[in-house]
Structure 1
Amino acid sequence: MSLSTPRWWYDRERRHAPVTRMLLRPAGWLWAAVTARRIARTTPEAVGVPVISIGNLTVGGSGKTPVAREVLRLLRAAGIEAQALSRGYGGRLAGPVRVDPAVHSAADVGDEPLMLALDSPAWIARDRVAGARAAAAAGAEAVVLDDGHQNPALAKTLSLIIVDGETRDHEWPFGDGAVFPSGPMREPLQAGLARADAVVILLPADMAAADPELVATFGALPVFIARLQPAAAPPSGPLMGFAGIAKPWKVERALKAAGADLVEFAAFPDHAAFREAELRALTDRAAVFDARLITTEKDWSRLPPEWRERVISWPVTAVFDDEAGFTELLAAAVIPSPLAGEGMTAQRVG
């Protein structure tokens, strides 16, 4: 299922769609109640290796996957055999299956696991406990669980909440706090934060600092700042952009901020499966401006193989302001000892 994200979800002043908000509010209360009951009634299972959960409190668009990739990189750079685990949203395989980018497509395992598998061993499993056990049996010394904060089945050693820190244009990461479908929240803010160990605020490359009010939202939880940095500048010349992620408007903004000559931009629903007719229409529109097509790495992974040579992939990475302090946090979870967390600092703003 692809989801078109309503932009009014992120307007905490409730200036837009007031009637829709009101009509959807009871469905949000039901969603929150069902989520809370499921979490409360499930006993998490340990699998014998540390599990680092990369999650969020909203429906898509926070930047979990770039952070998960960076966590995997930091752990592996420290000599820890870290492997990724994902549900495999959008893929047909139930797993546990180790993802092989040379064999699997996004239709098999989902787009995010394909991205994770480019750098580290990655698994998909609808049953997260079975997936973690498969990774451990294959030699994983730590499992990095992508998008697992609302899944209570697997015991977590460290739970990180990723928050989209962009608060420009009157947008707020949690909107007015309403739960899906009347807002972007997967569960009420304080309920989700109560199970978190630390927060990562992810900023766009051109945003100097996190909003102090946003940082204060997390109280005593350690807060780290990371930034989405383009792996390279956009190519020169006219570009026609498109994206099928939770917040496609952020891709358009990021391309322009990076200096792209963006002549037009097309938004698709999150996890959209690009059809031949849609891609041909994009190509025809780009030809009007003598432009090349460009999209995110995540969207590029869902393109049919014959289209990948015709579309530019524009990857981004998560870079931590306090990489040393964040690595200490990871080490304290993966290698528990009286000294592992000594001197651990969080990047505080304001």
Structure 2
Amino acid sequence: MTTTSAAKPRTYTSNEPGNAEINCFFESQTSTWQYVISDPATLQAVLVDTVLDYDPAAGKVSTESADQLLAFIKKKNLKVLRILETHAHADHLTAAQYLKSKLPGDVPVCIGSRITQVQSNFAPVYGLEWSTFGETFDIFLKDDEEFPVGNLTCRVIHLPGHTPDHIGYAIGKAVFTGDSIFLPDVGSARVDFPGGDAKQLYASMNRLLSLPEDYKLFVGHDYPSCRNYNCVTTVGEQRKLNKHGKVGTTEEAFIHFRKQRDDTLGAPRLIHPSLQVNIRAGRLPPADTEGRVWMKIPVKYTSDVEFSEC
């Protein structure tokens, strides 16, 4: 299998009015696609699903992936208007706060308004005080809300199922789907996190498949087995080929498949550090009195487990 270098973005352009220039950056450690979406006429841009590098074995956070985005933005002379999240990721840390600190202007970090459900689910798990969530995200986006990106218009689409807060972003004939759908040979995302729901994911996938056939769907991750990494497909291709949800797949069959499949999956490798950071818009957990930052890992054990002293 051939990997794609994050240093060399894939670029998609269109001569049709209302469409953006789309630059796609692949982060190989978490198989995440990050997007820089810009209006060629005004050079105004937004970022989608950025990655903060994290090595759990070393306990090290670094900014190589985010710095590549910053270098690209500077080279292209883009003005970033917003940093957008599709949902609270459980597989990578967002670079939103780091990018906000480096970009000129007070660039808002945005997410769907239902993030509060996810925050309330996970704050107690990690011992985070609800009072610390007052200033996390800058903008909580509502369903079907629209905002300008230069001369272009970005529309928010609620796509629940993988998580309850999940949204996508439509600009022209491009839709940034996050984890609501994957490329046809990968299919669909898991729904076994708190608030996940297979019936809702089925409906979200069908909402995407109801778009015109030539619309492009840009995915949040790719996990290929016998091909190169890719980030985009068309609605027409998904209708015919999506291995879990192509046209003709019944809701009952999809729900049954996802239940069976999710029962075999282990937790994502970075789930605990990711959620602690991502429900706080990219902020690391609060430092202790000595300035040290700790990631918490909940441990479950049965009451009959015995611990002996050395």
Instruction: Give TM-score scaled by structure 1 length.
Output: 0.29
Structure in which a larger fraction of residues adopt helix:
1
TM-score, normalised to structure 2, is 0.32
